Amino acid sequence: MPQASQVSKTKETSELTPVKETVIAQGLNCDDAGNLNQQQMNQCAQISYKEDDKKLNQAYQELLPKLQESRRKKLVAAQQVWIRFRDTSCDFERSSVEGGTLAPTIYYGCLGETTQARTKKLKQYITEAAN
């Protein structure tokens, strides 16, 4: 999995009372899940989902020009409905731990799994369009 970096920053709320908001600068090793706290696991799940989403968008953009106009319109409509389904379904899955610290990991994990499955299907369509 990718690594993320955080930086330190200072935030001033007024001229008289500066408030420092410090985040320790460190690499986040998402491959070492045994040594991550929950916040870090949540961040890693989000990073992983973003990578899955990039792959989905690449496959989608590769497929669109391979389709005839009528099929392209249907794919666009299907993709819009699929996005709503994915988001709603993963929101439901997250609701089992609503408000808990595990909720983001559950949500982004679901988004990632669902997105990977859709990417696989889009790649199948690409292969079929090439034949």
- 54-77: per-residue pLDDT in tens? 999 999 999 999 999 999 999 999
- Band (33; pLDDT cuts 50, 70, 90): confident
For the segment 1-27, the average pLDDT, to the nearest whole number, is: 41
Residue 33 CA to its chain's centroid (Å) = 18
Residues 4 and 2: their CA atoms lie apart, in Å, by 7
- Band (28; pLDDT cuts 50, 70, 90): confident
Q: Are 20 and 11 in contact (CB under 8 A)?
A: yes
Domains and CATH numbers, the chain: 30-130 (1.20.1270.180)
Residues 78 and 82: their CA atoms lie apart, in Å, by 6
Backbone torsion region of residue 130, taken as left when φ is above 0, otherwise alpha when ψ lies between -120 and 50, otherwise beta: alpha
Instruction: Supply the mean pLDDT for the chain.
Output: 84
Q: Output helix, strand, coil percentages for the chain, rounded to the nearest 5.
A: 70, 10, 20
